[in-house]
Chain A
């Protein structure tokens, strides 16, 4: 048995700052979205789910708080953006991006990881800090964060940042993208929490203190 560093101090700070901020960004985003909620899942005239159904608003009480939602959103956005930009710079400068960015083989391996995680008798491919599925998912989440920031700015100042709004496909498209990226985070969050529970206490602890106990022989070479 030995203890091994799993996550750097900086990474852990970025992660645990982002978690409550992104949660509150989604919450304040809901307060804003309520006052004009055109999106749905459906085809043609058939609507499977209206985003969001009345019962959802009844349960969450996000109604009639547009002004508060906007003020909150435009404060938290500073922290979300600065924390995210600092993380990206750190990851590039420290070289940690090498352990995070998907490799050519990641896409094939990710399928294997998924089958393994779903309980099929498929061996886990050898991995570094992150497995192939994690590499793809975590990298995608960072790219999505960048798009959330850009589409958000495109909605926030479509006159002064007209070029950015145009780049996002126009004002309405920017709002559409901003919304569905957020739904992407909600989906990610569900899977992420399930995986954290599955992985157990040692894994969660390593995201807080940075270290985990490993068997000497399974300790991967740095």
Chain B
């Protein structure tokens, strides 16, 4: 080195620290932009956009209805807790409960089904690991009808819709599902849990068991099913969670 080493390193370090400072400022600006705006209780729009991007990547590159979730023996079944009771508090007697079905392309329910209609579909049993968005999981047995069989029987042609929306009878809790996940062979309209009829706290008389999604999508006490292209509103997506919530 021809120059005085001290002067040379001072020159180099001045330049580098300016770049580092500029990088830190740019990073800070990015952080501010990432966290700006959004409704109260929801995440900022930039983060919502990234969740949407991640969903497209996963649906394009990973998701397949040939990917079955792991199933377990009876001995692995745990004791799942009642984690939430949103939408379970209505005055409808079990005998009066009906499932309103609105097929693709229509705006009014075409049928109001009874449990007997759903029990008439092929009965499917699965023991899967129910995964809560909070991080815990519990091996659970669900018995019911495949949503794909249900759709073919009671809303034929609705498979062409992009989404399925489900609500509790009082419309206090509601979920939106993408069609591939709804038609997944392990997605059930379940009427039994761990070998017994569904208890009230777990969503009697009929709930969704969709092991390719977090628990928040496994709506209890379903009152209506609607097939649409528009994304149905989703209780937890309105509160900051990923609309897709796929596993």
The verdict on A70 contacting B242 (CB below 8 Å), with A36-B134, A210-B12 known, is yes
User: In whole angstroms, what is the CA distance A208 to B18 when docked?
Assistant: 10
- CB atoms of A213 and B5 under 8 A apart: yes
B48: chain A residues within 8 A (beta carbon)? 71
Partner of B247, one of A74, A160, A172, A175: A160
- CB atoms of A71 and B51 under 8 A apart: yes
B13: chain A residues within 8 A (beta carbon)? 205, 208-209, 211
A162: chain B residues within 8 A (beta carbon)? 67-70
Interface residues on chain A, size class: 35 or more
A36: chain B residues within 8 A (beta carbon)? 132, 134-136
* Number of inter-chain CB pairs below 8 Å: 106
The verdict on A212 contacting B51 (CB below 8 Å), with A36-B136, A159-B212, A171-B137 known, is no
B15: chain A residues within 8 A (beta carbon)? 209
- Rounded to whole Å, the gap between the CB of B90 and the closest CB of chain A is 27
Partner of A75, one of B47, B68, B135: B47
- CB atoms of A157 and B246 under 8 A apart: yes
Interface 1/0 per residue, A66-78 and B, CB below 8 Å: 1110111011000
- Rounded to whole Å, the gap between the CB of B243 and the closest CB of chain A is 11
Q: Is A11 an interface residue (CB 8 A)?
A: no
Residues of B191-226 contacting chain A, CB below 8 A: 211-212
- CB atoms of B135 and A157 under 8 A apart: no
Smallest CB-CB A-B distances: 3 pairs: A67-B240, A36-B135, A209-B16
Contacts A2-B5, A35-B133, A66-B133 known; 14 new A-B pairs at CB < 8 A: A33-B135, A36-B134, A67-B239, A68-B43, A68-B240, A70-B241, A159-B211, A172-B137, A175-B135, A208-B16, A208-B17, A209-B9, A210-B12, A213-B9
Q: Name 29 A/B residue pairs within 8 A (Cβ), A-sorted.
A: A2-B5, A3-B5, A16-B20, A35-B135, A36-B135, A67-B239, A67-B240, A68-B47, A71-B43, A71-B242, A74-B50, A74-B51, A75-B34, A75-B50, A157-B246, A158-B69, A158-B131, A159-B67, A159-B69, A159-B212, A160-B58, A162-B67, A171-B131, A175-B135, A208-B16, A208-B20, A209-B12, A209-B13, A212-B9
Instruction: Please give the residue numbers on chain B whose beta carbons come within 8 Å of chain A beta carbons, in ascending order.
Output: 1, 5-6, 8-9, 12-13, 15-17, 20, 23, 27, 34, 43, 47-48, 50-51, 54, 58, 62-64, 67-70, 129, 131-137, 211-212, 236, 239-242, 246-247
